[in-house]
Amino acid sequence: MDTAPDLNFAHIFNRITHGVAFDAVTDTLYAVSGITNQIIAYDTNTFAEKFRLSIGESLSDEQNFQFGTGKLVASADGRYLALETPLGVRLFTVPMGGPTPTPAPAPATLQNIPTRSGMVFDHSGRHLYMTTSDGFVWPYNLLTGHIEAAYNLGGWLNGVDIAPDDSFLLIAQYDTGISQGVFHKLDLATGTITNTNYTPTPGEIGAWDVAIGSNGLALVTTQFYGFGATPLRQIDLATNAITIRTDVPDPTGMVTAPTQIHRNADGTRFYLMESDTSDGPAFTYSAVTNTFGPVTHFQVFLNSASGAVNRTGTLLATRFGIAYGASLEAVPDFNFVHNFNGIDRGVAFDAVTDTFYGVNSVTDQIIAYDTQTFGESFRLYIGEDLGYETTRFGAGTLVASADGRHLAVETPSGVRVFTTSPTPTPIPPATLRNISTRLQVGTGDGVAITGFIVQGDSPRRVLIRVEGLSLESFGITNVLVNPRLELHDSNGIIGMNDDWQTTQIGGVITSDQYWDIINSGLAPGSPLESALIAELLPGNYTAVVQGVNGGTGVALVEVYDLTPTPGSLLANLSTRGFVQTGDNVMIGG
C-alpha cells in the first residue's frame, strides 16, 4: 500500500494473491487470499486485521488479470463486495462493525520460528528481538523464558538493530511499494511504526541490513535485482532523514549488494562486508569520527561469510567459508592476528570480556576462545544439526547480548538462546597435549627429524602438522613453502602427507582424512602445508620433514594429542636439526 500522489510506501500485507478494494465509507482495505480462499479486511490506520469472509470455493492458482478470477469490487455505500470466481460472481454483505476477529494463535516456543531473519538483544538484558520473513517481530523475554506478543509489520523483514536506550527498533523491509523501499522504526513502548522511505536506483530493490551508531546515525544497505552495486545510505535517527553517503571508500562510491553491516556492543565501530564480488571488499566505519577506514580485499566471495566487531572496536572477526575457519584482524588496516580452524558459521564477540564465539556446524557447538591467549574457554552444544551452509540471516547466525550473559543462534527449527557462564571442562594436570619444534629444514642430513613416544597401555590418536607459509604472518620470511611429512616407527614409514587437503592412503592411514583434519580444528592455514592423523600403539615414533623438490626454509613441526581419555599419554619430544642464528634458531615447545 502506498500514499497518493507521490506513491510513498505505507505498508505490506502478506499472502494477498488476488483482487484488492477499499471500502467507500470506512478506512478499510479488502484483499483476496487465494491461499486461504478468503476476503480479508484490514484497518488502514492501524493495519490490523478486522475480519475475514470465506469465499466458498477455491480460486486455484489462476493468474489474476484485470478481468478474471479474483477481481474484487466494493459498493459505493460500503455494504457489499463482489468477487469474480471460477464459477461466476459471488456477492458478500459487509457485516456492520465486522465479525469478532479470529484470535491470534498462541506464541510458539522459541525453537519453533523457522521464518526467523535478523536478531538483536536489547541493552538492558531483558529481551531478544527476532524479525521474520513473514513480517513479524517476536520479542523473547530472557527473564521469563517466554515469547511475548508479536509486532506485525508485514512484508519480509531482514536486518534489525536497537536504539541505545532500547526505545525503538530499526528494521530493514525487503518488500517494496510501487516506487519506494522502506526502513521501519518500531516504537517498542507504543508499537507505532514510522517509515523512512527511499527511492531505489536502477536495479535496486528491498532493504537488507541496518546498524545503529553511537552518534545517532544508522547505516543501512539494500539489495540489487541480479548483480550490482547500490548506494550506502544513512538515517539521522533524530529526524528520520535518509541520505546517501558520498564518502564510501569503495572506488565506485557504492557498495556491492547485498552488503552486511556488523557493529560492536557500544555502536562505535561498524564492519561492512560486500557480497557478490570475487575480490571480497570490506571496510570499517567509526561512529566517533563519522568516517570510513580503508578498503581491504579478501579475494573471496563474502556472500555466505559472517563478521563481528569486538567490544573495544579494535578487532574484527571474519568467517569466510566452510573450509577456511575464522580469522581475527586488527582495525583499521586488517592486519592478521589469529585464525581459528573449524569455525564455519556465525561469529560474535562478548560485550563484556575478551571472548570470541564461533559456531562449528560439524560438531554443532558454539566454541568460546580467549582473544588474549587464543586458548579455548568452553563449548556449548547447540542441540540440533545446522545443516550445510549459512547466509547472513540463516542457520548458524550468532549474536551476543550487550550484558555478556546470553548468546542466540539461528537453527533450522528457529532460534536457541544460551547463557555464557558454563563451567569450563577441566584439563587433567601434568598431561602433555601438544609438542612442537620450529627449525630450519634443509636437505640430506639437514632434514628435520622429530621424535615422540606414546606411553601407556592403549592406542593414542594424534595429529601431526607441519606449517611453513603460515609462519609468514608472524614475520618469518624464509619459510619452507611446501613441506612433505613422513611418519616412521621402528620398522620404517607408516604414513605420509604432502599437501594436507589430499590424503595419501597407506600404512596407518586407511581413508580420506580431509574432514577429520577440518573437524579437529587444527587444519593448516595453507593447502601446501602437511598434516596427518594416526592411531598409534604405545611405542617410539619419528616425524621426518623435508621440502618438496629439495625446498628449504623454516617450518613448525607439531604433534597434537587428540585422545581425551586416560590409558596412555604423549611424551618425550626430541628433535634433530641444524641449530642456526636469527629466525633459523631451533625453538622447542
Tell me the pLDDT tens digit for each residue of 18-56.
889 999 989 999 998 877 778 888 889 888 888 888 887
Specify the pLDDT at position 323.
55
Specify the pLDDT at position 442.
84
Pinpoint the residues of the chain covered by CATH 2.60.120.380: 434-588
Task: Among 49-53, 104-108, 308-312, name the one with the lowest average pLDDT.
Answer: 104-108
Q: Which residues contact 386 (CB under 8 A, 6 or more apart)?
A: 345, 359, 361, 364, 395, 396, 411, 412
Q: How far apart are CA 509 and CA 532, in angstroms?
A: 8
CB 178 within 8 A of CB 167: no
Specify the pLDDT at position 389.
56
Q: How far apart are CA 362 and CA 358, in angstroms?
A: 12
Q: Phi and psi of 123, rounded to 5°? A: -85, -15
**Residue 242 CA: distances (Å) to CA of 131, 169, 225, 283, 552:** 22, 16, 22, 21, 58
Confidence class of residue 99 from pLDDT cuts 50, 70 and 90? very low
Confidence class of residue 432 from pLDDT cuts 50, 70 and 90? very low
Peptide bond into 105 cis (omega under 30): no
Q: How far apart are CA 564 and CA 576, in angstroms?
A: 29
Q: How far apart are CA 16 and CA 29, in angstroms?
A: 12
Return the DSSP state at 518. Answer: H
Q: What pLDDT, in 10s, does the model give residues 247-293?
A: 999 888 899 999 999 999 999 999 999 998 889 999 999 999 999 99
Which whole number is the average pLDDT over 74-95?
Answer: 84
CA dihedral 551, 556, 557, 561 (to 10 degrees): -150
Burial environment of residue 45 by CB neighbours within 10 A (0 to 12, 13 to 18, 19 or more): exposed
Return the DSSP state at 18. Answer: S
Is the pLDDT assigned to residue 105 strictly greater than 50? Answer: no
Of residues 105 and 84, more confidently modeled: 84
**Residue 119 CA: distances (Å) to CA of 159, 160, 162, 176:** 7, 6, 10, 21
In CATH, what number does 2-93 get? Answer: 2.40.10
Q: How far apart are CA 370 and CA 357, in angstroms?
A: 9
Q: What pLDDT, in 10s, does the model give residues 341-365?
A: 888 899 999 999 999 999 988 778 8
Q: How far apart are CA 479 and CA 465, in angstroms?
A: 15
Q: How far apart are CA 110 and CA 140, in angstroms?
A: 8
Q: How far apart are CA 553 and CA 575, in angstroms?
A: 16
Cβ neighbour number for residue 25 with a 10 Å cutoff:
13
Paired with 569 in beta bridges are 455
Q: What pLDDT, in 10s, does the model give residues 372-399?
A: 999 888 888 888 888 765 677 888 899 9
CATH of 434-588, one of 2.10.210.10, 2.60.120.380, 3.20.20.70, 3.30.420.40: 2.60.120.380
CB 232 within 8 A of CB 253: no
Which whole number is the average pLDDT over 295-322?
Answer: 90
All three cell numbers of 249, joined, read 571508500
Q: How far apart are CA 228 and CA 203, in angstroms?
A: 8
What is the b/e burial string over 306-343, where b = at least 16 CB atoms within 10 angstroms of the residue's CB?
A: bbbbbbebebbbbbbbeebbbbbbebbebeebebbbbb
Q: Phi and psi of 183, rounded to 5°? A: -115, 135
Of residues 240 and 111, more confidently modeled: 240
**Residue 444 CA: distances (Å) to CA of 384, 545, 547, 552:** 52, 11, 10, 11
Q: May I ask the CATH architecture of the domain 116-419?
A: 7 Propeller (2.130)
Q: What pLDDT, in 10s, does the model give residues 125-180?
A: 899 999 999 999 999 988 888 889 999 999 999 999 999 999 999 999 999 999 99
All three cell numbers of 171, joined, read 528494521
Q: How many CA atoms lie within 13 A of 77 on its CB side?
A: 5
Pinpoint the residues of the chain covered by CATH 2.130.10.10: 116-419
What share of the chain in percent tops pLDDT 90?
43
Q: What is the CA radius of gyration of the chain?
A: 29
Q: How far apart are CA 570 and CA 453, in angstroms?
A: 6
Specify the pLDDT at position 413.
83
Q: How far apart are CA 201 and CA 525, in angstroms?
A: 41
Q: Phi and psi of 4, rounded to 5°? A: -100, 150
Return the DSSP state at 519. Answer: H
Pairing mode of beta strands 365-370, 136-141:
unpaired
**Residue 57 CA: distances (Å) to CA of 68, 82, 98:** 15, 14, 22
Residues of the chain by 3-state class (helix, strand, coil), percent to 5: 5, 45, 50
Q: How far apart are CA 149 and CA 146, in angstroms?
A: 10
What type of residue sits at position 379?
A: R
Specify the pLDDT at position 426.
41
